[in-house]
Amino acid sequence: MLRSHTCGELRITHVDQTVRLCGWVQKIRDKGHMLWIDLRDRYGVTQLIFEEGFVDAGLLALARSLGREFVLKTEGKVVERVAKNDKMPTGDVEIRVTSVEILNPAKLPPFLIEDDTDGGDDLRMKYRYLDLRRNVVRKNLELRHRMAQQTRAYLDGQGFIEVETPVLIKSTPEGARDFVVPSRMNPGEFYALPQSPQTFKQLLMVSGFDRYFQIVKCFRDEDLRADRQPEFTQIDCEMSFITQEDILQMFEGLVRHLFRQVKGIELGPVPRMTYADAMRQYGNDKPDTRFEMRFVALKDLTASADRPVREGIASPSLREGGDTSAGAGEVDLVGGKGFGVFDEASLVVGICAKGCADYTRKQVDELTDFVRRPQIGAKGLVYVRCNPDGTLKSSVDKFYSEADLRKWAAAMGAQPGDLLLILAGEAGKTRKALSELRLEMGERLGLRDKNVYATLWVLDFPLLEYGEAEQRWFAMHHPFTSPKPEDISLLELDPGAVRANAYDIVINGVEVGGGSIRIYRRDLQETMFSVLGFTPEEAQRQFGFLMEAFEFGAPPHGGIAFGFDRLCSLFGGADSIRDFIAFPKNNSGRDVMIDTPSEISGAQLEELKISVRK
């Protein structure tokens, strides 16, 4: 090694030793007769000292000529500092330098290599290799490394085998859009990059691998939102001869292991909630349970929230089927008082914001503006102040007496000092809007602390959701998910009522993993494809290999996949996954550092037998 020690390891016990350090110039302080350099590497920072009289003039001049981010190899003696710095682990010592070699000079970086940098997003992405020098970014990737190693340690310890599944696979129209790869050896044909190793892990179960996992890159050619990447990483797992309960136990075990080993946090058992309850109580299938503030319906004509439609498409007609979910009786505490908005609504639902009765008019107006934003889409917000003196004051006093309001307050468990916030309208949209308002209130009330972790299993997802635009059913999880055995008979009669053996694990309102018990018999898989609108021929062409595999002795099996980028960002207390990916792409799918995607040569296109359309 060019160094004898790293820049993070020298302590008072090293005093008088001659050491060799390598690293980057973090900072130079020049007091004329004395000059200090902070030398940085991955492991820390060590102070070098150059003092007139102690070092020869040439060396001092050399030190003076250095710039930020120069790469040095230095030799010197460890001495005790006069002014110690207890903020850095090496702060008791400094190095009296006897020689400096410039291993590489550096141009002035386009932004400061500091925790608080002056670089904007675009500049930091273009010079990502400089951004990665910043401690805050490097620590994210160190965290990711520890998460990966601990994930493997846990699963290996539980008898899981890590198996690499292929990256060059087959394109299937079901699911998101595939990235494809033209095959030169098979002109006119294409591979696809996997959106997940789903079918392969199921085949490994058919092979008897019993317990499989993989930390694996997956790919989706979707229009990118702020926090999506065209390539992302999953912890992908599958088990045989299990019930859903075995999966829940095994993988909350993984989450507990990670919290313990990586964060030093002991989690209790992960609470559970059905999808129907999550939708009713939080208007969200991934509720943030760091705080309560559950929904209370003042009127509910639908009494069932577990018939989802594909995101963004409301379909009230679908909710007319019989309610198969338990526990939701019809209520109406708001009708017949002449308030048309409530009278016409199929759902009137509210939350109780503890201690917010003193919200000013301006604050309430802010909340009203919040729910009226187009992406939330409520028409208005009704509030009831539960004043400290016990009186109640609402924005609908014209229609409702204090006695009426008192019933609402009682139903919502309000105390004097609380503020009730109520939305009304079509059930699905209203729940969604109130969920956003609940999260906003949680934020305002400081109930969403990044250092507090609330976990939750959401169970019993619907098997199918209806696509109005496509006029057909879609698998809510994927086409290989098993319906609950007791609901199989409904599969062709009332597809929307069928619940799946599917589960998500949610932490702080973020879905970090999801999975299901799989179909493992050909006949049921064929039925499923038929419900999804596949002709038998299409099903056979796309998934014939899997259905045939089921005929050669497939065991009952199920699994889960965790979004690894997301899990890391959650552990790192960050909102964006991008800072937990070494070389992310921007929202146009570009890597601006290496400038890709880019044009390829005519010769390459010719070899691949493809043309670019103008």
Q: How far apart are CA 41 and CA 23, in angstroms?
A: 5
- Of 109, 355, 416, 467, which one interacts with a copy of itself (CB under 8 A)? 109
| Smallest distance, a copy of itself to C-beta of residue 409, A | 49
Residue among 70 and 400 whose Cβ is closer to a copy of itself: 70
The answer to the question of residue 162 lying near a copy of itself (CB under 8 A) is yes
The answer to the question of residue 118 lying near a copy of itself (CB under 8 A) is no
Q: Bridge partners of 502?
A: 516
Distances (CA, A) of 192 to 170, 186, 189, 197, 219: 5, 14, 10, 12, 9
Tokens matching residue 435:
């969920």
| Smallest distance, a copy of itself to C-beta of residue 153, A | 8
Which residues in 127-146 contact a copy of itself (CB under 8 A)? 127-130, 132-133, 138, 141-142, 144-145
| Three-point CA angle 419, 424, 429, nearest 5° | 115
Q: How far apart are CA 81 and CA 476, in angstroms?
A: 64
The answer to the question of residue 169 lying near a copy of itself (CB under 8 A) is yes
The answer to the question of residue 104 lying near a copy of itself (CB under 8 A) is yes
Which residues in 391-410 contact a copy of itself (CB under 8 A)? none
- Furthest CA-CA distance within the chain: 94
| Smallest distance, a copy of itself to C-beta of residue 241, A | 4
Which residues in 517-546 contact a copy of itself (CB under 8 A)? 520-521, 545
Window contacting a copy of itself (CB under 8 A); options: 63-71, 284-292, 401-409, 510-518: 63-71
The answer to the question of residue 601 lying near a copy of itself (CB under 8 A) is yes
Q: Taking the CB of residue 173, how many other CB atoms lie within 10 A of it?
A: 9
The answer to the question of residue 28 lying near a copy of itself (CB under 8 A) is no
Structural element, H or E, at residue 180: strand 180-182
- Of 47, 151, 165, 394, which one interacts with a copy of itself (CB under 8 A)? 165
Q: How far apart are CA 240 and CA 250, in angstroms?
A: 12
Sequence-distant (≥ 6) Cβ neighbours of residue 57 within 8 angstroms: none
Residue among 366 and 548 whose Cβ is closer to a copy of itself: 548
Burial grade of 79 (CB within 10 A; 0-12, 13-18, 19 or more) = middle
Tokens matching residue 489:
């008979």
Tokens matching residue 441:
């209130």
- Of 116, 164, 389, 537, which one interacts with a copy of itself (CB under 8 A)? 164
The answer to the question of residue 551 lying near a copy of itself (CB under 8 A) is yes
Residue among 22 and 456 whose Cβ is closer to a copy of itself: 22
Dihedral of alpha carbons 529, 535, 536, 537, sign: negative
Which residues in 171-210 contact a copy of itself (CB under 8 A)? 171, 173, 177-193, 199-200, 203-204, 206-210
| Smallest distance, a copy of itself to C-beta of residue 8, A | 11
| Smallest distance, a copy of itself to C-beta of residue 290, A | 30
Distances (CA, A) of 561 to 235, 511, 557: 5, 11, 14
The answer to the question of residue 226 lying near a copy of itself (CB under 8 A) is no
The answer to the question of residue 241 lying near a copy of itself (CB under 8 A) is yes
Tokens matching residue 24:
């980057």
Q: How far apart are CA 519 and CA 524, in angstroms?
A: 7
Window contacting a copy of itself (CB under 8 A); options: 288-296, 358-366, 462-470, 596-604: 596-604
Residue among 243 and 391 whose Cβ is closer to a copy of itself: 243
Q: How many residues bind a copy of itself (CB under 8 A)?
A: 122
8 A C-beta contact, residue 91 and residue 81: yes
Instruction: Write the DSSP string, 134-163.
Output: SHHHHHHHHHHHHHHHHHHHHHHHTT-EE-
| Smallest distance, a copy of itself to C-beta of residue 159, A | 9
Which residues in 261-280 contact a copy of itself (CB under 8 A)? none
Residue among 166 and 573 whose Cβ is closer to a copy of itself: 166
The answer to the question of residue 313 lying near a copy of itself (CB under 8 A) is no
Distances (CA, A) of 96 to 23, 178, 538: 16, 59, 75
8 A C-beta contact, residue 192 and residue 179: yes
| Smallest distance, a copy of itself to C-beta of residue 125, A | 12
The answer to the question of residue 600 lying near a copy of itself (CB under 8 A) is yes
The answer to the question of residue 488 lying near a copy of itself (CB under 8 A) is no
Q: How far apart are CA 270 and CA 429, in angstroms?
A: 29
- Of 5, 10, 19, 22, which one interacts with a copy of itself (CB under 8 A)? 22
- Of 31, 87, 107, 362, which one interacts with a copy of itself (CB under 8 A)? 107
Taking Cα atoms as reference points, which of 83, 90, 98, 101 lies closest to residue 15?
A: 90
Amino acid type, 410: A
The answer to the question of residue 326 lying near a copy of itself (CB under 8 A) is no
Window contacting a copy of itself (CB under 8 A); options: 258-266, 392-400, 442-450, 599-607: 599-607
3-class DSSP state of 278:
helix
The answer to the question of residue 86 lying near a copy of itself (CB under 8 A) is no
